[in-house]
Amino acid sequence: MRLFTAIELPAEVRNHLSGIQTYLQTPSHEIQGVKWVEPANLHVTLKFFGEIEEGRLWELQDALKTVHVEAMPLFADRFIRLPARGPARVLAAEIGGDAGGVAQLVERIELAVEPMGFEREHRPFRAHVTLGRARDGVRLRVEGGLGHDDPLFRLDLSRQFPGPSFETSSFTLFKSTLTTSGPVYESLMRFSP
């Protein structure tokens, strides 16, 4: 089974981000080739484990139970694209507020599961909510800018950010099942103080 840990988002935050997805899908934005994340699936990924044997689930859950979680005030701070240059493969909302606390939580998760043989993520962690993905990358050519020096990045989303604030003191282990219509996420266990 495919597993990952994530911070779940309250309905108000998912609804706000869903509105941004709708805004980005209007014809005037000329963004094509993006597979948009279903609003119910919006979350902040902490660690992706990939495929693991079902027999290891209990061991993983026991390891995650040892992870200390502190209360973190968060909000969707601004729109980002990854990578920052060239065609964008991920369109996302960067998380603001206690993003440092989220990074510390990720580090505690890494330390808890490393003895089980899970390889540490090598890319620097950047707390974000993926709004859409483009396998081949997309060029963003929208009027009105954020002053970014990349000519492909001309989205003005200043009215949509920041999003509603929320506080979390938990994270969730999810099972992801890939289907032809998109992934289906199932919450397996929530971890909190």
Phi-psi region of 54 (alpha: psi -120 to 50; beta: other; left: phi over 0): alpha
Pick the catalytic residue from 16, 68, 122, 128.
Answer: 128
Q: Which of 130, 118, 38 is nearest to 81 (CA)?
A: 130
- Cβ contacts of residue 36 below 8 Å, gap of 6+? 21, 25, 131, 132
Helix (H) or strand (E) holding 61, with range, is helix 57-65
Residue keyed to tokens 């003191």:
169
Is 43 a catalytic site residue? yes
Pick the catalytic residue from 43, 68, 122, 148.
Answer: 43
The rounded distance, in Å, linking the Cα atoms of 139 and 68 is 41
The residues annotated as belonging to the active site are 43, 128
